[in-house]
Amino acid sequence: MDDTCVIVTGASRGLGASVARAFAEGGASVVGCSRDGDAVEATLADVRNAKGVEADVRDEDDVWGLIDDAARAYGEIDVVVANAGINRGDPGDAPLPAESYDVFDDTIATNLRGTFATVKEALPRMPADGRVLVPSGSVAREPTEGMGAYGVSKAAAEGLVRGFAADAEQAVGVVDPGLVATEITGGQGRDPDEVGEMFVWAASDADPDELNGDVLDLRAWKKATR
């Protein structure tokens, strides 16, 4: 992936950090962001071809600055991984009827509006064959007890992906790596480092027509790379 510029939001830990490392190890120039600038800088400090910067996806001005700085440094942005997300409830123990307005609003602001801002600001700086990847999971498509605002936000984010796919010339799709052990999942699932390469595959070797407006899951990746 030489001469490729990749932006990964929410790259200070978990899946985002693993994805950023995987792209950098593949030769791409990677800009990872987090609302905690010190944390993302520390996470990516020893990763060749990668740098961490402070940006909060809830703030479109921050997102514009992130995209503009990356485009000025590297030219066109080839890949965007809109990974930034939060889950302020315990997985499986956050029933939607009991969700507070504050938690609901903050979750939607980050997981949905933040994804919207990231994709919206990036598309004008991307080539026609660029790719946008939005991580998601089965909770977005299957009713799951106790997932509260998080489940709603991921379902809405997948709807957002389909809308962008219908209107943008770039391929915009969902990547579902299955359950990954992060703070959002309460540490349940596979090691994030086991699925970082899945995003590299989705950004480079996967059929763009199969990605665009659709979901590439773990089974598709394993079948394609077996």
Q: How many CB atoms lie within 10 A of CB 133?
A: 27
> Are the CB atoms for 83 and 10 separated by under 8 Å?
yes
Structure tokens belonging to residue 123: 């598309």
Residue found by looking up tokens 């991984």 in the block: 81
User: b/e per residue, 174-189, with b = 16+ CB within 10 A?
Assistant: bbbbeebbbebbeeeb
User: Domains in the chain, ordered, with CATH?
Assistant: 5-225 (3.40.50.720)
pLDDT at 183: 67
**Cα–Cα distance measured from residue 141 to residue 158, given in angstroms and rounded to the nearest whole number:** 9
Active site residue 150: yes
Q: Which of 107, 110, 112 is nearest to 96 (CA)?
A: 107
pTM, full prediction: 0.94
pLDDT at 38: 97
pLDDT at 184: 67
Catalytic residue among 74, 116, 150, 164: 150
Q: Which of 98, 110, 3 is nearest to 56 (CA)?
A: 110
Kind of pairing, strands 79-81 and 215-217? Answer: unpaired
Residue 3 parent element (H or E)? none
Q: Which of 157, 133, 160 is nearest to 8 (CA)?
A: 133
pLDDT at 4: 94
pLDDT at 192: 82
> Are the CB atoms for 203 and 133 separated by under 8 Å?
yes
Distance between first and last Cα of the chain = 20
As averages over each run of 10 residues, the pLDDT of the chain (226 residues) reads 91 95 96 97 95 97 97 95 93 91 97 98 98 96 92 97 98 93 68 90 97 95 91
